[in-house]
Structure 1
C-alpha cells in the first residue's frame, strides 16, 4: 500500500515540478528535499512517537504506510521527473503546435512517454522501498528482520536464521527484479523498437 501511494505521490509531485506550477512547485521541491535527506527510521519514529503529542495517534501499520509513502514519493518523483525530462522537446513543440493545453500535453505526450522512460528508475525505487521495510520493527510492526531476530533470541541459531532471512529476501526480490527487467525490455522495445 505504501509503495502504491508512493507511486501516486511521485506522479503528482513530478508533474507539478515539471510544469513549474507556481508555489506548488516550490512546495514540492521542499518536500522532496526533506523526504530524501532524512532517514526513514527518523520519519517512522516521528510519525509513531511525536504525532501523538500533537493529538494525532495512528496505528503502527498506518505510520509504516505513511512513512513509506512519504519517503518513496520523493524517490518516485525523481524517477518520474527523469522520465518526463527525457521526453524530446520536439514532442512538446509538436503538441503545442497542435493547440494542446498544458494539461493535454501532460496527459497525451509527457505522461505516456515519460512513464516508459521512468521504468528503470521506478523499478529500482520499488526494490529499495521493499528493503527499507526491514526497519519497521522500530515502530512495532513485525516484519522479516524482526521475526528473524526473535527466532535467534529464542533458539540461539543466528547463522541459520540469518541465512534464511537472506533467502527470504532473495525469494521476494529476485523474481521482482526479473519482472522489472522484462518490463523494461518490453517498454523499451515498444517505445524505441530495439
Structure 2
C-alpha cells in the first residue's frame, strides 16, 4: 500500500465524496416527496393520479437506472433538451427512488387500523386532520426501516451516475486507476469513502427504528 499516494489523492476523493453526498441528499429528499404523493394517490385512489402513480411505480421499478440516465443525458438532447450530468443524476435517482419510497409509504399508510380512522372521524376531525395527526405519524413510523433501506440503496446507486461523466466517487476512482495504475490504493479509498457515508446513515436508521418502536409499543 502506497501511503504517500493515498495522501496525495485524498483531496480528489474529498471533492468526489461531497459530490456523491450532494447528489444523494437532493435525490433522497425529492424521492421522499414524490413517494409520499404517489402513495397518497394510490391508497386514497385519487382520480387520474391513482393510475398515473401506479404506471410510474411499475415503470420506474422495472427499468434499469443506467438506461434512465442514458435517456436523460444522451436521448433528451436529440429532442432539443440539454441537461448537465449532475442534474441528470438527480432526476434519474429521484425517478427511481420515488417509486421505492412510494411503496414504503403505501405499506405504512395501509397498516393503520380502520378503527383508529373511525375514532378520529367520530371526534369531528376533518380528513386532512385525520391524515396529519393520526395516519401519517403512524405510517411514517412503520415505514422508517424501508425508508432507511431505500436511502442506503440510493446512495449506493449514485455510483451509476459515473457513466454520464459526473465526478463522483466511482468516476474519480476509475480515472485515477487509468492514469496512475494504483488500483489497490484507489479502491481502498473508494471503499473507505462509501463506508464514511453509509455507516452513519445505517446507524441513524437503526436508532430511529428503535425509537419509533418504543413510541409505538411503549416499551
TM class by shorter chain equals over 0.9
How far residue 163 of structure 1 moved from its aligned partner, in angstroms, is 2.1
TM-score (norm 1): 0.95
Q: 1:32 aligns with which of 54, 57, 77?
A: 57
1:82 equivalent in structure 2: 107
Q: 2:122 is matched with which residue: 68, 73, 97?
A: 97
Aligned counterparts of 1:100 and 1:27: Cα–Cα separation in 2:
29
CA distance in 2, matches of 1:80, 1:2: 17
* Aligned structure 1 segments of 4 or more residues deviating by more than 6 angstroms: none
Q: Shift of the alpha carbon at 1:127? A: 0.4
1:70 aligns with 2:95: yes
Is 1:107 the counterpart of 2:132? The answer is yes
Structure 2, gaps ≥5 residues long: 1-25
Q: State how 1:179-194 maps to structure 2 within 5 Å.
A: 179-194=204-219
Report matched runs for 1:131-142 at 5 Å. 131-142=156-167
Normalising by structure 2, what TM-score?
A: 0.85
Higher RCO (Cα < 8 Å, 6 or more apart):
2
What count of residue pairs does the alignment treat as equivalent?
194
Cα deviations by residue, 1:40-89 (Å, 9 ceiling, x for unpaired): 11111111111112222111111111111111100000111111111112
Which of the two has higher C-alpha Rg?
2
- Distance in structure 2 (CA, Å) of the matches to 1:5 and 1:135: 18
